[in-house]
Chain A
Amino acid sequence: MIKVTLSPLNCVRKTEMLLRSGIRAKRLTCKTAFSFLVKRKYLPTVRSIFPEAEFAPIGWEAVVCLLAKWGVVTGLVMAVVVATAFSLFTTGFSVRGAELYEDEIRAYLYGEGYGALRTKSSVNANEIETSLMQKFPLSIASVTVRGSTVDVLVKEELVAGSALDITEKSDVVSAYDGVVTRLVVKSGTALVHKGSAVRKGQVLVDNTCVIGEQSLPVRADAEVFAKVAFRASKTVGKTALTYERSGRTESASWTKVFALENARKPSFAKYEVEKKLVRTGDIMPIYAVYATFYELMPSEVAVDWQGEVEVAMEELRAELEQRLPFGAKKIDFFCTNREIFGRIEVCATLEAEIIISERVKGSN
């Protein structure tokens, strides 16, 4: 509703004007001012009749207008309230630096109530740090309050590794056949050099160290790289076996009721059959089956063996690449073909540089 306020003169005449315009007015007063209430839909008409009138919304419309007018101020007040709330409370925590015990630390902090809303004054950083250090194997724990978050920075203790026994006597031997391309000897005496051809199991680095005239046993350690050839082969036929009708036939017939039938077989080892069904029963589904068997004889036909060889090469390449150990560096790939008893043997070779050294305990 809209409250319309006018001067108190000629109230009767103004009321008449309202009635003539078909306006429904409420709460008419004519004391210090002539005022009345009208619905918003009558507002344009009232404006046209009384251009000098003052209009003021009342009820919920007044609330809406007030909010629209004071919306910015209300927003600012709300922002101040929210900012104040966030400056007084913590809403959660974050854990940084944890790896092995992150879940346990989070569970502990949730259990202590740091995952929910709580006042900053109730967050005792020193107490949290002490309890974390006592409960978990940590090197350091640092707790600070950043904004509305309890920031927990931890560093877990390193797990002590097993000590290396340098007095253990061991050789470095080759795990593959190949040609040494480079070697890095950390301890021991190298028995091969760049370009040496080595066999699988051959000692590459001995477990002795010669100092002057004295030979001391050591734990040999080295990385030996070698060019190793990985081989695989496949045979491809130049002809393919096909079966063709020889011309000999046999005939047979039997009865079939539903799915039951006593099917005859011919004397041929390989055959094709052509069947003809003739229904003999009017009520029951009884059929007479007339079969003709054709003998098949094998015969060889030439095929596109060159295409088959290319397919075989790609298959061999994929197979060899799967056999390469991790970190291998491919050098070359080539194939050779040879004919054996009318079939083509495809031999593929993939050369790669790999680490061939492996340590075994020495006996000498």
Chain B
Amino acid sequence: MKFDGGITDFTALRAELVCPFRVVLFDDGGARIEGHKGVSFWDGNGVIFRRKNGTVSLVGEGLEIKEISPGEAYVAGRIKNVTLEVKSRKVDD
């Protein structure tokens, strides 16, 4: 059984919601970000990654980008908060 398929089955989420972007937390000591579209902000207290429909913010202390490549990044440090922002869609009445 594939990992993605297993997650979709387990969480009962749609596959297209799981695959494009993923944040994996290693307790509060680090995180792996998959499917990002680049870095918007970066310092020791926070890192903001762009994604397809918004951004994801990692807030903490002593944050470092240990490795980064197109689509994948590893962040080390004490992570306190992860915020997922979604771009609002304009709805025409």
**A residues whose Cβ falls under 8 Å from a Cβ of B:** 11-12, 15-16, 18-20, 22-30
A28 touches B68 (CB 8 A): yes
Q: A12-B40, A15-B42, A19-B38 are in contact. Are A25 and B64 (CB under 8 A)?
A: no
Task: Tell me if A19 and B69 are in contact (CB < 8 A).
Answer: yes
Question: Which residue on chain A has the smallest CB distance to residue B68?
Answer: A25
Is A12 within 8 A of B39, CB to CB?
Answer: yes
Among all A-B residue pairs, the 4 with the closest Cβ atoms? A24-B69, A28-B65, A26-B67, A15-B39
Q: How far is the CA of A16 from the CA of B40 in the complex (A)?
A: 9
Contact at A27–B42, with CB atoms within 8 Å?
Answer: no
**Chain B interface residue count, Cβ-Cβ cutoff 8 angstroms:** 13
List B contacts of A16 (CB < 8 A): 38-39
Given contacts A15-B38, A26-B66, A28-B68, 12 further A-B contacts (CB under 8 A): A15-B68, A16-B39, A18-B68, A19-B69, A20-B70, A22-B70, A24-B68, A25-B69, A27-B67, A28-B42, A28-B64, A28-B65
How far apart sit A19 and B68, CA to CA, in the bound complex (Å)? 8
**Residue in A closest to B36 when the chains form the complex, CB atoms:** A19
- Shortest C-beta distance, A286 to chain B (Å), equals 88
**Chain A residues with CB below 8 A from B10, complex form:** none
Closest chain-A Cβ to B69's Cβ sits at a distance in Å of 4
Contact with A along B4-48 (1 / 0, CB 8 A): 000000000000000000000000000000000011111100000
Smallest distance from the beta carbon of A38 to chain B beta carbons, Å? 10
Rounded to whole angstroms, the CA-CA distance of A19 and B43 in the bound complex is: 17
- A23 to B67: give the CA distance in the assembly, Å: 10
- Is the pair B70, A19 in contact by a Cβ cutoff of 8 Å? yes
Q: Which of A16, A20, A26, A28 has the most CB of B within 10 A?
A: A28
Q: Which residues of A contact B39 (CB under 8 A)?
A: 12, 15-16, 19
27 contacts between A and B (CB under 8 A): A11-B42, A12-B40, A15-B39, A15-B65, A15-B68, A16-B38, A16-B39, A18-B68, A19-B38, A19-B39, A19-B68, A19-B70, A20-B70, A23-B69, A24-B69, A25-B67, A25-B68, A26-B66, A26-B67, A27-B66, A28-B42, A28-B64, A28-B65, A28-B66, A29-B64, A30-B42, A30-B43
CB distance from A292 to the nearest CB of B (A): 101
